[in-house]
Amino acid sequence: MKPETLHFFDRVYEVVKQIPSGKVTNYGAIARYLGAAKSARIVGYAMNASHNMDDVPAHRVVNRNGLLTGKFHFDGTNLMQQLLENEGVEVKNNQVKNLKDYYWDPNEELNLHDTI
């Protein structure tokens, strides 16, 4: 993997670490925050690569419709859903219900001048 890709992954992880318990965000919001609006898929690749990083709450990153698209990268059939439900997030049929109630936007919540 190219060094600049690894650096981008690290920047993604720094954003994801700031998502509060009980909240979710999406791949595109993280990409926009990092100034790479068309890189939502690369954010997804970073989430897939983080499965052994206990300090990166990857379960809090869903697709733009609230679907648990990353669930196959967690051990166990429903671990992503269980982790979210343990934090109070309501999930039904692999989708966050009432997404707007749980949505956390790094573009609004984080200082754009932070060094991430």
pLDDT digit string (tens) for 55-71? 999 999 999 999 999 88
Three-state DSSP class for residue 115 = coil
pLDDT tens, residue by residue, 5-15: 669 999 999 99
How many angstroms separate the CA atoms of 75 and 86, rounded?
Answer: 16
Three-state DSSP class for residue 103 = strand
Contacts of 24 (CB under 8 A, 6+ apart): 60, 61, 62, 66, 84, 89, 96, 99, 102, 103, 104
The predicted structure's pLDDT at residue 4: 63
Beta strand spans in 1-116 (E): 25-26, 61-62, 91-92, 95-96
What is the domain partition of the chain in residue ranges? 8-99
The predicted structure's pLDDT at residue 45: 95
What is the fold of 8-99? Arc Repressor Mutant, subunit A (1.10.10)
